[in-house]
Amino acid sequence: MEFIAKVEDSQKSNIREIAASLESMGIQIRRIMRITGTIFGSTRSLPLAKLKIKGIKSVEQDRRLRARS
């Protein structure tokens, strides 16, 4: 499942470390947007609630629409 995680405003300077912590949990990080404090990634087995680690304000499923090929 693909997700979008928002980092707490006070933790934006630590966004790379937070992303590394998620990776150590087996999460695949697709994109880090430091200015907006957003991490895009995917997980196969962990529920979204488990991704709300220290420094993460919110996590939601990425529901972007994609064109069919």
Q: pLDDT tens digit string along 37-56?
A: 999 999 998 999 999 999 99
Task: Report if residue 66 sits inside a domain.
Answer: no
Q: Does 8 map to a domain?
A: yes
Nearest CA among 45, 4, 40 for reference residue 26: 45
CA distance to 41, 46, 61, 65, per residue, from 68 (Å): 21, 27, 20, 9
Is 45 a member of any domain? yes
- Report yes or no on whether pTM surpasses 0.75: yes
In a domain, 42, yes or no: yes
Q: What is the pLDDT of residues 5-42, one digit of tens each?
A: 999 999 999 999 999 999 999 999 999 999 999 999 99
> How far is C-alpha 39 from the geometric centre of its chain's CA atoms?
4
**CATH code at position 24:** 3.30.70
